[in-house]
Amino acid sequence: MASLTVRQLDEALKQQLRLRAARNGRSMEDEIRSILREAAGETEAPPQAGPASRAETSATAVAPRLLLIVGGGIAAYKSLDLIRRLKELGYAVRCILTQAATQFVTPLAAGALVGGPVYTDLFNPDHEFDVGHIRLAREADLVVVAPATADLMAKMAQGHANDLATAVLLATTAKILLAPAMNPAMWANKATQRNLAQLKADGVTLVGPNAGEMAERGERGLGRMAEPLEIAAAVERLFKAENAVLPIKGKRILITAGPTHEPIDPVRYIANRSSGKQGYAIAAAAAEAGADVVLVSGPVNLPRPQNVDVVAVESARDMLAAVEKALPADVAIFAAAVADWRVANAGAQKIKKRPGAATPQLALAENPDILSTIAHRSDGRPPLVIGFAAETENVVANAKAKLARKGCDWILANDVSPSTGIMGGDSNTIHLVTAAGVDDWPPQSKEEAAAMLISRIAATLTGDRH
């Protein structure tokens, strides 16, 4: 039976489907299943979600297509179990084994589990005329690399294409999920970490590696491949996120990020420890979901996210002016750590240290509250205004008070006590405070938190919730 994915539908059909799905509280895939059932004269099934429902209906024509690339590491044996898990979830799985992978698992074993041919050669005449590398790349909704060896990651980071796996990875426009597996020393090596940073910047998603025993006796550390069930769960998350974010497409999202610098004189300033990572991750996730993103950024040391219009500012007052200029917006997210005060008597010249002279006194003046100013606008207020609350105590209670005081719709509250390592760190634990209540999100990377926020915004824009 031919297979069809939501992605292949034209925009008008997709829009109709999206509206129908939102009205019925179903995912787009479940809506298609329901339409097919209606057409077949079956009685309407209640909306279902999650792995079991997809497995039950995997015979329909909408099974998402997953291409699994197995790299050459001892963890390859777990990939056989991964194939089973993915098929149980209803995915249509194709499999590529690298030459090195065939040393650990046979094409026969993988083929038996996939229920079809397994691809190993870039220049296999049978496959090139039938399912060549470009078709393998194009006909995948998601590419999973498990195990992703240090060598495969290095080749991907460099854009090599000298075998089937790397050629497909270079040719695909689908999302890529990597499950790294290697010896802890290889994982910690600067070269691997450099490649990893490059791959993350290129938009690749990661699951694992985990810490624990290695295959080699006596070896322990970070480098074990994530378990098949964990990888399958990461696949599910990616697919859900992809379906959920469609309503963001074309929406204008305004984001502030980073610290502000408040001048004392032309060479000195007051600043804070904000790295800008969370705001930048949100901008990247929004742009990836197809939004029209403007990022008003204080001084940070981060690469510009792709497809984002970045407006660089220094002080709080500059930031407010840039935000007002960037309006109107459908959604405004205020992630910047704006200085509450500026120096009222900032010197036009460098303040000099003079022997015997009194120590200079800095008089402070209050800065405008950008979030509150925008949230209280009577005209041109973005329909969804989101703020952050970085607290060191009574996190949720303070965030609730802030929601009311600042007049915004949502507050993302987090504990930034030095012991949490959140300020400037790579992970975040967020409590989403809205008029409807509090959602406690799990500890996760700033990228994952950004993806979760974008999914939640998408659900709101379809009218599912606020």
Binding residues for ligand C5P (CB under 6 A)? 256, 316, 334-336, 338, 340, 367, 369-371, 387-389
The Cα-based distances of 25 to 17, 51, 286, 451 in angstroms read 12, 17, 23, 21
Comparison of 30 and 369: residue with beta carbon closer to ligand C5P? 369
Burial of 55: CB neighbours in 10 Å, binned 0-12, 13-18, 19+: middle
With tokens 């060479």, the residue in question is 267
Between CA 320 and CA 322 the distance in angstroms is: 5
Cβ at position 290, least distance to ligand C5P in Å: 24
Closer residue to ligand C5P, CB minimum distance, 256 or 434: 256
User: Min. distance of Cβ 198 from ligand C5P in angstroms?
Assistant: 30
Size of the chain, expressed as the number of residues it contains = 466
Rank residues 167 and 339 by Cβ distance to ligand C5P and give the closer one: 339
Burial 149-183 (b: 16+ CB within 10 A, else e): bbbbbbbbbeebbebbbbbbbebbebbbbbbbbbb
The smaller minimum CB distance to ligand C5P, of residues 176 and 390, is found at: 390
Single-letter residue type at 77? Y
Least separation in angstroms between CB 367 and ligand C5P:
5
**Hey, is 5 helix, strand or coil?**
coil
Catalytic residue among 124, 272, 307, 398: 272
DSSP β-bridge partners for residue 240: none
* Nearest to ligand C5P of 248, 371 (CB atom): 371
> In angstroms, what is the minimal distance from the CB of 263 to ligand C5P?
16
Which residues have C-beta within 8 Å of that of residue 177, sequence separation ≥ 6?
Answer: 142, 143, 144, 145, 204, 205, 206, 207, 231, 234, 235, 238
Catalytic (active site) residue 195 = no
Closest CA to 72 of 102, 99, 101, 110: 101
Least CB distance from residue 337 to ligand C5P, whole Å?
7
Residues with catalytic annotation?
Answer: 272
